[in-house]
Amino acid sequence: MNEVVNGEAVAVGPGPLGIADVVRVARHGVAVRLTDDAVAAMAASRSRVEELAESPTPAYGVSTGFGALATRHIAPEMRARLQRSLIRSHAAGSGPQVEIEVVRAMMLLRLSTLATGHTGVRPGTAATLAGMLNAKITPVVHEYGSLGCSGDLAPLSHVALAMMGEGTVTDAAGRTTPAAEALKQAGIEPVEPVAKEGLALINGTDGMLGMLSLAIEDLSLLLTTADLAAAMSVEGLLGTDYVFAADLQELRPHPGQAVAAANMRALLAGSGIMAGHRDGSCTRVQDAYSLRCAPQVAGAARDTLTHAVMVASRELASAIDNPVVLADGRVESNGNFHGAPLGYVLDFLAIPVADVASMSERRTDRFLDVARSHGLPAFLAGDPGVDSGHMIAQYTQAAVVSELKRLAVPASVDSIPSSAMQEDHVSMGWSAARKLRRAVDGLTRVLAVEILTAARGLDLRRPAEPAPATGAVLAALRQEVPGPGPDRFMAPEIEAVVRMIGDRTLLTAAESVTGPLG
């Protein structure tokens, strides 16, 4: 079950995974491999749980009920039923199906916690989860159900249910099928959870952390793309790159700002368009904020992302369960499942996503207004009046930006008590993660419209030539999207640029001139 799929398998052991490991397994289908150290750690902690299971002294999650029902002692002959009942009752999600990459991230991160040896599960139980990942059997998980405390209970319960051979999954071919059938075809024996295992499989922050890891990967690409879009707009709107000079940026030494400004200098180096308006004839003293302050905004977004990476890295080094088995054999209840650290940073990221998009939309709008575009036709139309050009593409941007502002409202400030007031404060971190995923998609679309618009503006500036880097981007774009002309069906062109952002086509074109951008 540990065969390599799409590259070398990711080793899962007591040590932490990296964000890149999560992306490789979740998004690119790379296989996983439990290390020998992981198997030994799980076996050792399992023996301690079995001792507790045989003891007359109640132990939470081993010989008691859960949550507000923790005061009931469960007889030994009922404990296997207790674990199965826990998983079945907690698999109470509702709504649309969550994306496969998110579920795979959850599965990997739960496996990583099991592999620490702090949860008390049998090695064979962890091996079943690894086998499902490698066979690309993905449990169907639903949009609603997690309060982000005690972790992502409902989403992880749907995963655990599939491990038991119950519920539904998506198989390697993308078909929705009964879990029992998919496991049988893959040669995987369903798990029959024993004492403590049901709780260990569902009590974690893995959904929140998985979505944060994927968002970090996406935003690392999008913030560099935002610098590219801004550079194309500054050039197309006859702005100046003087304000991006290194000595000016050093007066305010935020690291993200320095990176963004350096990117823009590299992208605009050698611009024929800019050379043409440096002859003393330009009377504008300053560019608008959306041009001049682009590194300050995208840079602050980068610094926020750096903070998110720190939080994610700490969480990836964590063992989230309740109770946990400690190195000295103690089994202790704790509150580490609370999603506040993740909820806060997921909400935090949604703020700069909205603001970077808002600035992008303002630059796009400048291209379309004859009062501010410095000689370009109204709406960049082929025949203004007969043609509408990019008028409604900007409407689409504005609609997305408005949505992004709503998505920037934090989820983590809310709390609805649950479990008969035993769980009287929850993080809503899952909700923060879900809205951040939507926000990342929205930012991609806003940047796509800006790039599409700036490219048309650059074309309309000819015979003045763009910079070699922005020119390379323009050439790559024109392989998919035609240049200026009469109105045509816009939606496919926007989608083409969305795809070219996501697969790095545009950045690769720029970096063929500049070298790696930050």
The catalytic residues are: 60
Q: In the numeric block, which tokens belong to residue 259?
A: 């990176």
* Residue 213 near residue 16, CB atoms below 8 Å: no
State the Cα angle at 1 between 163 and 325, rounded to 5°.
Answer: 55
Residue linked to tokens 């599939």: 162
CA distance 363 to 10: 43
- 317 closest CA partner among 9, 105, 18: 18
- 109 closest CA partner among 212, 215, 228: 212
DSSP assigned state of 384: B
CA distance 212 to 51: 37
In sign, the C-alpha dihedral spanning 215, 218, 221, 224 is negative
Q: Which residues contact 369 (CB under 8 A, 6 or more apart)?
A: 378
Given the DSSP bridges, would you call strands 94-97 and 142-144 parallel, antiparallel or unpaired? Answer: antiparallel
DSSP per-residue string spanning 13-80: SSSPPPHHHHHHHHHH---EEE-HHHHHHHHHHHHHHHHHHHSSS--TTTTB--GGGTTSBPPGGGHH
Amino acid at 23: V
Q: Which helix (H) or strand (E) holds 126?
A: helix 123-134
- 27 closest CA partner among 220, 215, 308: 215
Q: Which residues contact 76 (CB under 8 A, 6 or more apart)?
A: 53, 54, 63
Give the rounded distance of the alpha carbon of 232 from its chain centre.
26
DSSP per-residue string spanning 471-513: HHHHHHHTTTS--S-S----HHHHHHHHHHHHTTHHHHHHHHH
Q: In the numeric block, which tokens belong to residue 370?
A: 């004859």
CA distance 49 to 511: 55
> Within a 10 A sphere around the Cβ of 329, how many other Cβ atoms?
12
CA distance 150 to 425: 10
Q: Is 429 helix (H, G, I), strand (E, B) or coil?
A: helix
- Beta-ladder partners of 33: 11
* Residue 97 near residue 139, CB atoms below 8 Å: no
CA distance 469 to 506: 10
CA distance 160 to 84: 9
